[in-house]
Structure 1
Amino acid sequence: MTTFLTYTILGLVLGSVYFIAASGLVLTYNTSGIFNFAHGAQAMFGTFLYWHFTERWGWPVWLALLLVVGVAGPAMGAALHTAIMRGLRGTADVTKIIVTVAVLLGTVYLAQWVWSPDEAHTVDMFFGAGAKVTVAGVVIRYHELVCLVAAVAIAAGLRVLFTRSRAGVVMRGSVDDPDLLRLNGHDPERAAMLSWALGSTLAVLAGVLIVPISGGGLDANMLTLLVIDAFAAAMFGRLRSIPRTLVGAMVLGLAANYVLAYLPSAGTFTGNLRVSLPMILLFVVLVVLPQDRLRGAAIRTRERYRVPTVRAAAVWGAVLVAVVYLYSLLLSDGGVSTFALGMTFAIIALSLTVLTGYAGELNLAPLAFGAVATVVAFHTGVEGTGLASYMSVRGLLLGVAVAALVGGLVALPALRLRGLYLALATMAFGEFLSNMVLRDTTEHELFGFTFTLFPDGSLVVPPPKAGPLDLRDGTTFLMTATVLFALIAVGLAALRGGGYGRRLAAMKDSPAATAMLGQNLVRLKLSVFMISAAIAGLGGVLMSAAHGTVAQESFSFVGSLSLLMLVVVAGIGYISGALVGGLLAGVGASVLVATFGDLALESEGMGNIYDALGHLVLVGTALLGMGVGRNPSGFVHDVIEGYRAMRGARPLLYGAGAFGAGLYLLALTGVIGTWTFALVALCVIMLLPVLGRMYLDEGRRDRPTPLELAGVDEPYTEELRARLDRELGLPALGKGGAGA
């Protein structure tokens, strides 16, 4: 009985902290309509500040707590709303999600920059671990009592805020109908800013409370993901009900502790299940709870994409293959392998283009389907031993097929979900796969066969081989991945231009109208999920083969979020956006960080500067994601439109082409380095539309103004008046007579 009471109390304490975190999510969502995926990162950053004040600077706990929870937390939330979140009105769900994901990644990168992950950071309980009382044989620490009391007080306070106070009504009105709220003399942005300040405060408080009861060790990634577990409690209340959120948090905390107490401790199953339990409950809650009815497009989003024709896609695919081959001639063997890894990420990114860019459906765990395909291909397709081993085509195709099947199985119960709910369901699946499957290192027996899903916590995946095509050679691997990307891209262009693609676009624009016109939304969603999962599975197997050895971290939830963020930043509705976003996610930031790291080791005097530049690259990548709300179509859209406007600047295009050819010859002959060539070529590509606009503007100044624009685009001068007289056949007048 004592054991049961002990784990019950611990479960209630953990549930209390989950509720505090989840209540902040409910608060911000109810008043801004934005689900804050960065909630855990805000909790993490505030907890690091608390550690810094108490441990490094030696401040009293009460003073550190006052500054962190009372000042830093509200300031963080208010700043986020003012600088970023208020600009997200009128954007699609994926844009809102990606901006908060970018804040999450940027906050984690910043924390790892300020507080080195190599150093130990420990947060003690309030009043010390020895401060405790005993009730019915159960030891309860004062820190745990604080958690329980804080949860009850916050639940009561939020209930009163939302139902009994004018401020709460204004907060809810700021998302329901901000225009009506303005007509009644209230400022919806001020109300939303207040809610973000309160939500951030609750997140920081949850972080400070949960670290001591979870072991005391403070790690940026782990704490961020730990607070994300509170998403299940928030969804239990459907992001609206504080009482149901409290019940969901308590169920979550109790279930996690009862699993630890009563399930067998042998093996890794119990520990993995306890870690995965919040995501399992999140998926179940999302599927079971009733969803909103189908709606039309209430507001038109600001995303605009141009779909290429099949012919254009084929031409540009051939150009891509040629450019990649020519560039590979400049690279070392290591550079070719790195480039090949980036192309595999670009293939995975194509799965997001068809699913989110074309169909408007969300998947926050594309790497999870790559993990499924990799595990299947490893166990069924590896032939040979040692250095002579290779991945057979049969294993590769089987892995892709199973990934597509799993994509359908995941989508099947989630078919009734849309927008944010669907995104959270895919996130739950990804985390479940990462914690339950990719951590499974025990032996299993099935139909007389003994196997281990992830032996020794990693898989050694050899390159594929198909007859004479052996991908052990780096250049062959790179060109094969590039050709596959081009072929899939042409196929997606054909799909989007056909009847099926138009049905996907209609479903994205208005599910209600699509269903009313007789389209089967279930079939559309299921098929596009399976297509997307198959593409992600193919890219995942190739990515694993490019790595050589993969572990759980290779398919992490954070990696999936980073890939999705960069593809959205580039332009998720464009095939070229998938190419650019995949290359950035696979090799862009990592190559720059590694380069600055090598420079820091080689140069002692400049080591700190190079190290700071490496961290700045990561933070800057997240800043790109935070700014996507200002340009939700992606920067590739701007580049394409810039080049589209240069049709009249052909001499400039020819000159740039000649300059690029000369620059390539200099790099090929070793006169300039590969890095120099790449940087100069990139600068020319990005600056050419600007130069083209200047060139065209100069040309327009040299041409006479069309008569219909006379006096509109230029001052109405005497020369212009005389020209009008000539064109109209009127007699010329003298200087004085013209104005008479």
Structure 2
Amino acid sequence: MITTMLAAAGTPNLWNQFLTASVAGLVTAALYAIAASGLVVTYTTSGVFNFAHGAFGMMAAFTYWQFTEGWGLPIWLSLLLVVGVVAPVFGGIVEKGLMRGLEGTSELIKLVVTVSLLLALIGLAPVIWDPTIARSVPEFFPDSDPITIAGVGISIHRIIIFVAAGLVAVFLRLFLYNTRTGIAMRAVVDDRSLAQLNGARPGLTSMASWGLGAGLAALAGVLGAPISTLEAVTLTLLVFNAYAAPVIGRLKSVPLTFLGAIILGLAQSYVSSFVKPGDTNVVERAVTSFQINTGWTLANLQSAMPAIVLFVVMLFIRPERLRSHSLSTTRDQFRVPTWRVTLIGAILFPIGTIMLTVIIPDVFQLSLASGYALALVGLSLVPLAGYSGQISLAQMSFAGIGAVVMGNLGVNNPILGVVVAVLVAATIGALVSLPALRLSGIYLALLTAAFALMLSKLVLSQQKVMPQGNLAVPPLVSSWNTATARIIVSAVAFTLVGIAVVAVRRSGFGRRLMAMKDSPDACATLGLNLTRTNVYVFALSSGIAGLAGALWASTAQAEQFTFENSLAVTMLAVVGGVGLVGGAFFGGLLLGAFQSILGPIFNSNALGYFSVFSISIAKLTSFAPGLMGISLGRNPSGAMTEVGAGFRAVGERTEALVISVLGAVGIWVLTAVGVVSGWQFTAAIVVWVFVVAPLTPLLFDGPHPSQRLPVAIGGVSATVVALLVPVASITESNGWRVIMIGAFAGAVGAVLTRVYGPLDAEAAAPQPSPDLAGVNRPFDRGELIEVDAALGLTEADLATYAVSETNGASAVPAMAGNGGDS
């Protein structure tokens, strides 16, 4: 039967097609091998998996186009400058300026910083190179005739890719194992301090490894640009698709990485050749029958193959042995939330949300609803990433699952739809986590990334799942199908889930998660079932994300649940403080603001020195979130950690909390009844919340009672001024309005702090001179101990002196009898 089918398909044509696909696959494999080898070099020599590796290659391709097509430089010179100078220098700068500042942070923070760099570069490229202008990079020797091998014509450019891959393999083997610099690179990642004691220079070595990795990414980007599209996301994913290859090599072995690249390239090419409409072979007939019978299509199978290969590899890769480590203390630490603060937030948050919906313009209501939904997705990362230290890059995918389930089952019974959406998302999340739970955190991140790509390309893109890429998601109640109602529902859901997340943190299960985050190997040694614990927390996290999808906006779009958006959610949740409920809200709301609010508000504003350069705020929002994530090296605990520290005293003092809340309510009332405008409300609320409210505890417990009244009068007066000054009438520029409000709030804070004086009472009092100790004041115990140590007196001497004095003897003979000088 198989022979008959092959005959019907036409065996010679099928064989020629197979040869052509094999050659094309090997070309792709060579390109993947170059890119993946650079990733392996960076990881094995620095211990950091560079998710921005693909963006390095993308930026290099655009720079190469600028040198050759834009400025007319010779091809050989442009290639030398990009691969040998620009890319290595950029890689060294990234290592010294970003990655070196991440010492002492968790693997999650290191990964998120590279993800932030990826998103920043993807957003920056269209700002530098206008995407509306068509660009292309010609192949090397485009006028040369192709060379025929086994009946298949191969262009000179593709032969160059083959040769380059072979040269890279030989060079890396010789460099890493036969040169002092290469051996030092491998030694630094194993033990940085020991390598330094043996004469290595870890700083320069790490810079060299990142420079080498960036150079290889640039080579892959330049060679791949002519056979791809010169577009930011497309070129980035071209290199990103190679990430399955180094996983086959366990992120260590360059030869196995090349083998993985060959498997990946051939698999992708065979799918492209044989699973394509219009062919008359047996494979296509089976695929066509599958599509007709089920309504599902495999049109995106080729682009999903790298993710599929990566996912399959995870099923069979062998785990590493457990190694004994001491307890890891990282700089990203989070306080255990108290029930008092939690309940205060649970009361004020939904009430504040309702008040906000009353005064916010209707044009921003839908954007705010999206921000609240994204905040709930960010909240799903708190138990997973914040408590257990696990990494997921597929949270938007689980939200997409929840939206699809709700869109199909919630039409007739919304409550049932929400419940099923949570259960389905939780179950799928638990199943997805199983293959990589026995591996390290970076493998889990790659597995979830593969799942996100597969779901986006193979499931959510199906017309049967989301017709025309859209799906109506019904509200909980048919009459609540407004943006305002969805905001309030999301706020209530966020509040309830937030309380549950805090309860988890304070429970025994939460303590197990924190212990696993600190030292998973120690937990396994003590008998803790890591697999079960990880499955539970993954199911909890995925279920929360599924709930966010079920409560999504009225129309869910497939492009909202892509892998890129999952990266952005994870990044901004960590920026806000992934170990805090407030950090998740900050990150989600910030992402919604960047996507839909800040651009329209500041559409006519720009930054820069206008006689030299300028950039519009709308363009800045395309890569500003990535820049915020890059800053995690300075504050790995996130923004809300610092904000919480400033407001902690307010929550602990009931009187201060009441005054702060009443002041904010009063400002809102004036705005709601139309006494003041939106900009005046903004100015007053900024001054009151961020300047005056943090100082209110000092009115009751501060060290300077005499200064309480001046500070109170000054704070109220500044707020009244902010309410009375018509900011909107001063300038028509929204950008200048924000600058004026920020400057005024900063000035008020500086003045009030100066008026009140030092917050530490001991620091406020003049410190006595140590030279006058024993003259105008008695010695204290610490000074006496220092004097005894300076005189060489021991505890035995002092004890002997005390006994002699009790017996009525002189102290001098007693000490002389112990060897002292008389």
TM-score, normalised to structure 2, is 0.79
Contact 1:294/1:511, CA 8 A, preserved across alignment: no
Task: Give the residue type in structure 2 aligned to 1:273.
Answer: L
Q: Which residue of 2 aligns with 1:319?
A: 348
Write out per-residue CA displacement over residues 51-81 of structure 1, whole angstroms, 9 at most, x where no aligned residue.
1222222332222212211221111101101
Larger Rg: 2
Instruction: Give the Cα separation in 2 of the matches to 1:523 and 1:350.
Output: 22
Counterpart secondary structure, 1:698: coil
Match of 2:456 among 434, 440, 449: 434
TM-aligned CA distance change 1:610 to 1:334, over 3 Å: farther
Contact 2:395/2:566, CA 8 A, preserved across alignment: yes
Write out per-residue CA displacement over residues 542-590 of structure 1, whole angstroms, 9 at most, x where no aligned residue.
22xx1x3333211111111111111101100001101111111123453
TM-aligned CA distance change 1:312 to 1:259, over 3 Å: same
Per-residue deviation at 1:176?
0.9
Q: Which residue of 2 aligns with 1:724?
A: 777
Contact 1:309/1:494, CA 8 A, preserved across alignment: no
Instruction: Give the Cα separation in 2 of the matches to 1:102 and 1:699.
Output: 37
Write out per-residue CA displacement over residues 220-267 of structure 1, whole angstroms, 9 at most, x where no aligned residue.
112112211111001111111110001100111111111122235356
Instruction: Give the Cα separation in 2 of the matches to 1:12 and 1:683.
Output: 63
Counterpart secondary structure, 2:471: strand
Counterpart secondary structure, 1:484: helix
TM-aligned CA distance change 1:270 to 1:240, over 3 Å: same
Task: Give the residue type in structure 2 aligned to 1:501.
Answer: G
Counterpart secondary structure, 1:123: coil
Task: Give the residue type in structure 2 aligned to 1:437.
Answer: V
Q: Which residue of 1 aligns with 2:788?
A: none
Match of 1:397 among 419, 428, 439: 419
Task: Give the residue type in structure 2 aligned to 1:362.
Answer: I
Q: Which residue of 2 aligns with 1:536?
A: 545
Counterpart secondary structure, 2:616: helix
Instruction: Give the Cα separation in 1 of the matches to 2:521 and 2:671.
Output: 56
Match of 2:531 among 497, 513, 522: 522
Q: Which residue of 1 aligns with 2:380?
A: 351
Contact 1:302/1:632, CA 8 A, preserved across alignment: yes
Q: Which residue of 1 aligns with 2:706?
A: none
Q: Which residue of 2 aligns with 1:289?
A: 317
Deviates more, 1:673-682 or 1:163-172: 673-682
Deviates more, 1:15-24 or 1:132-141: 132-141
Q: Which residue of 1 aligns with 2:568?
A: 562
Deviates more, 1:155-164 or 1:51-60: 51-60
Q: Which residue of 1 aligns with 2:226?
A: 212
Residues 153-302 of structure 1 mapped to structure 2, 5 A cutoff: 153-214=167-228, 217-263=229-275, 265=277, 269-295=297-323, 297-298=325-326, 299-302=328-331
Task: Give the residue type in structure 2 aligned to 1:367.
Answer: M
Q: Please say if 1:587 is aligned against 2:615.
A: no
Q: Which residue of 2 aligns with 1:664?
A: 668
Instruction: Give the Cα separation in 2 of the matches to 1:300 and 1:726.
Output: 39
Task: Give the residue type in structure 2 aligned to 1:614.
Answer: A
Write out per-residue CA displacement over residues 588-626 of structure 1, whole angstroms, 9 at most, x where no aligned residue.
4531023233x379xxxx9x9996222223333222111
Contact 1:69/1:205, CA 8 A, preserved across alignment: yes
Per-residue deviation at 1:402?
0.9
TM-aligned CA distance change 1:410 to 1:512, over 3 Å: same
Instruction: Give the Cα separation in 2 of the matches to 1:530 and 1:647.
Output: 33
Q: Please say if 1:553 is aligned against 2:559.
A: yes
Counterpart secondary structure, 2:758: helix
TM-aligned CA distance change 1:397 to 1:183, over 3 Å: same
Contact 1:646/1:693, CA 8 A, preserved across alignment: no
Q: Please say if 1:571 is aligned against 2:577.
A: yes
Instruction: Give the Cα separation in 2 of the matches to 1:684 and 1:678.
Output: 10
Match of 1:332 among 361, 373, 377: 361
TM-aligned CA distance change 1:727 to 1:126, over 3 Å: closer
Contact 1:45/1:107, CA 8 A, preserved across alignment: yes
Q: Which residue of 2 aligns with 1:732?
A: none
Contact 2:314/2:435, CA 8 A, preserved across alignment: no
Alignment coverage as a number of residue pairs? 690
TM-aligned CA distance change 1:243 to 1:112, over 3 Å: same
Instruction: Give the Cα separation in 2 of the matches to 1:317 and 1:326.
Output: 15
Task: Give the residue type in structure 1 aligned to 2:201.
Answer: D
Instruction: Give the Cα separation in 2 of the matches to 1:363 and 1:727.
Output: 56
Task: Give the residue type in structure 2 aligned to 1:497.
Answer: R
Counterpart secondary structure, 2:436: coil
Instruction: Give the Cα separation in 2 of the matches to 1:101 and 1:5.
Output: 38
TM-aligned CA distance change 1:502 to 1:611, over 3 Å: same
Deviates more, 1:312-321 or 1:509-518: 509-518
Residues 477-488 of structure 1 mapped to structure 2, 5 A cutoff: 477-488=486-497
Per-residue deviation at 1:130?
5.2
Task: Give the residue type in structure 1 aligned to 2:648.
Answer: R
Instruction: Give the Cα separation in 1 of the matches to 2:139 and 2:498.
Output: 55
Write out per-residue CA displacement over residues 482-507 of structure 1, whole angstroms, 9 at most, x where no aligned residue.
11111111111111111111111122
Contact 1:572/1:634, CA 8 A, preserved across alignment: yes
Higher RCO (CA-CA < 8 Å; seq separation 6+): 1
Per-residue deviation at 1:530?
0.8
Instruction: Give the Cα separation in 1 of the matches to 2:200 and 2:615.
Output: 48
Write out per-residue CA displacement over residues 281-313 of structure 1, whole angstroms, 9 at most, x where no aligned residue.
112222311122334554421111012133431
Instruction: Give the Cα separation in 2 of the matches to 1:377 and 1:58.
Output: 55
Per-residue deviation at 1:177?
0.9
TM-aligned CA distance change 1:164 to 1:577, over 3 Å: same
Q: Please say if 1:414 is aligned against 2:436.
A: yes
Instruction: Give the Cα separation in 1 of the matches to 2:269 and 2:622.
Output: 37
Contact 1:24/1:199, CA 8 A, preserved across alignment: yes
TM-aligned CA distance change 1:54 to 1:516, over 3 Å: same
Task: Give the residue type in structure 2 aligned to 1:358.
Answer: Y
Instruction: Give the Cα separation in 2 of the matches to 1:557 and 1:648.
Output: 41
Match of 2:635 among 621, 631, 634: 631
Task: Give the residue type in structure 2 aligned to 1:557.
Answer: F
Write out per-residue CA displacement over residues 162-220 of structure 1, whole angstroms, 9 at most, x where no aligned residue.
11111111001111111111112221110010011111111111011112223xx2111
Instruction: Give the Cα separation in 2 of the matches to 1:697 and 1:652.
Output: 19
Instruction: Give the Cα separation in 1 of the matches to 2:465 and 2:595.
Output: 31
Q: Which residue of 2 aligns with 1:449?
A: none
Q: Which residue of 2 aligns with 1:108?
A: 122
Per-residue deviation at 1:717?
8.1
Structure 2, unaligned stretches of length 5 or more? Answer: 1-14, 278-287, 695-748, 782-822
Instruction: Give the Cα separation in 2 of the matches to 1:146 and 1:337.
Output: 52
Instruction: Give the Cα separation in 2 of the matches to 1:541 and 1:657.
Output: 32
Instruction: Give the Cα separation in 2 of the matches to 1:573 and 1:65.
Output: 45
Match of 2:758 among 684, 694, 698: 698
Instruction: Give the Cα separation in 1 of the matches to 2:585 and 2:235.
Output: 32
Task: Give the residue type in structure 2 aligned to 1:623.
Answer: L
Q: Please say if 1:423 is aligned against 2:445.
A: yes
Match of 1:619 among 616, 619, 623: 623
Deviates more, 1:371-380 or 1:522-531: 371-380
Contact 2:414/2:474, CA 8 A, preserved across alignment: no
Task: Give the residue type in structure 1 aligned to 2:433.
Answer: A
Task: Give the residue type in structure 2 aligned to 1:460.
Answer: A
Match of 2:49 among 35, 54, 57: 35
Q: Which residue of 1 aligns with 2:281?
A: none
Per-residue deviation at 1:22?
0.3
Instruction: Give the Cα separation in 2 of the matches to 1:703 and 1:504.
Output: 41
TM-score, normalised to structure 1, is 0.87
Counterpart secondary structure, 1:382: coil
Residues 13-32 of structure 1 mapped to structure 2, 5 A cutoff: 13-32=27-46
Instruction: Give the Cα separation in 1 of the matches to 2:594 and 2:658.
Output: 29
TM-aligned CA distance change 1:310 to 1:660, over 3 Å: closer
Per-residue deviation at 1:353?
0.3
Identity of aligned residues (%): 40
Contact 1:93/1:419, CA 8 A, preserved across alignment: yes
Task: Give the residue type in structure 2 aligned to 1:567.
Answer: A
Write out per-residue CA displacement over residues 391-437 of structure 1, whole angstroms, 9 at most, x where no aligned residue.
72222221221111111111222321331111111111001101111
Q: Which residue of 2 aligns with 1:373?
A: 402
Deviates more, 1:563-572 or 1:667-676: 667-676
Task: Give the residue type in structure 1 aligned to 2:758.
Answer: E
Instruction: Give the Cα separation in 2 of the matches to 1:668 and 1:296.
Output: 61
Per-residue deviation at 1:727?
11
